[in-house]
Amino acid sequence: MKYFSLAALCCAIGGMANAAQAEQCDANAEVLKADYQQQQSKQNAKGFSLWRLHQEVAHQALAQGLVEKWQHLRSGQVRPVRYFEQYQRGIEYQPGELKGQGQEIDWSQKYQLVSNALLEQPVRTQGQGCEREEFFEHGNEQQKLAITWLPELKLVKRMTLSKQDDQGQWQQVNSLELQGYQLNQQQVERQFALWDRYQSTDYADVGDNEQDPFLAKMINQGFIEHGALGFYSSDGQALKGGHHH
């Protein structure tokens, strides 16, 4: 009986420790940098970073020097800002102004690269603490989406989209792989402060400043109007990466 009581006490202590660790993970998840590699069929792998600072999140396309930041406002709306690191310039938008990213923006998709709608019923789980993993599968006869999710950190560990070819064989056409993450609050705060110091232009004022060589170039390349870094749709029907003209 004493042995049973001791075992029960150990289990209770272990449960409390796991709960405390999970709570710590949740706190850390609000301020982090996560590095990813995305592989699309017949294209070179591309690296990008996900940055989070409480109610702000940024997607940084490393090779392009392009950053899209979203601010989650108290009203529930999401305000986008686009930064061009090579020029140290930014374009600020009001909610709904950025073409293709109206007020229906799914904050969870921006915050964690995948919508909460795709994370409701895991097919299995494994591990514990910060490294606990959940596995999700979605799809139909034409395509399948598989997600490995770190729920305590609210991070995608791996996500793959496969499609069926003309011969009925499944081919992986897009994958996203977590390379690592950092929970260095000072580093994250410095990076967001650096972007905030860029010279910025309100989207509504762009038309009055077309003589600005930078703005003229960005308008010509289509970076002002269109979304550049939308990765995953909330229904899992499409995965995209990088800028599409």
Question: Given this model, what pLDDT does residue 180 score?
Answer: 93
Q: Which regions in the chain score pLDDT beneath 50?
A: 1-22, 102-103, 228, 230-245
- What pLDDT is recorded for position 128? 87
Distance CA 142, CA 136 (A): 17
The residue with tokens 């921006």 is: 110
Say what the alpha-carbon torsion angle 61, 62, 65, 68 is, to the nearest 10 degrees: 30
* 225 neighbors 101 (Cβ within 8 angstroms): no
**140/143 Cα distance (integer angstroms):** 6
Q: What are phi and psi of 42, to 5 degrees?
A: 60, 20
Amino acid at residue number 16: M
Confidence at residue 100, expressed as pLDDT on a 0 to 100 scale: 52
Report yes or no: 144 and 154 within 8 Å, Cβ to Cβ: no
Q: How far apart are CA 128 and CA 150, in angstroms?
A: 10
pLDDT at residue 2, rounded to an integer: 41
Paired residues of 71 in beta bridges: 56, 79
**pTM over cut 0.85:** no
Residue 99's pLDDT is what? 56
Secondary structure of the chain as H, E, C letters? CHHHHHHHHHHHHHHHHHHHHHHHHHHHHCEEEEEEEEEECCCCCEEEEEEEECCEEEEEECCCCEEEEEEECCCCCEEEEEEECCCCEEEECCCCCCECCCCCCCHHHHHHCCCHHHCCCCCEEECCHHHCEEEEEEECCCEEEEEEEECCCCEEEEEEEEEECCCCCEEEEEEEEEEEEECCHHHHHHHHHHHHCCEEEEHHHHHHHCCCHHHHHHHHHCCCCECCCCCECCCCCCECCCCCC
For residue 224, what pLDDT is reported? 64
pLDDT score recorded for residue 163: 86
The domain spans of the chain are 2-221
Q: What pLDDT does 203 receive?
A: 86
Architecture of domain 2-221: Clam (2.50)
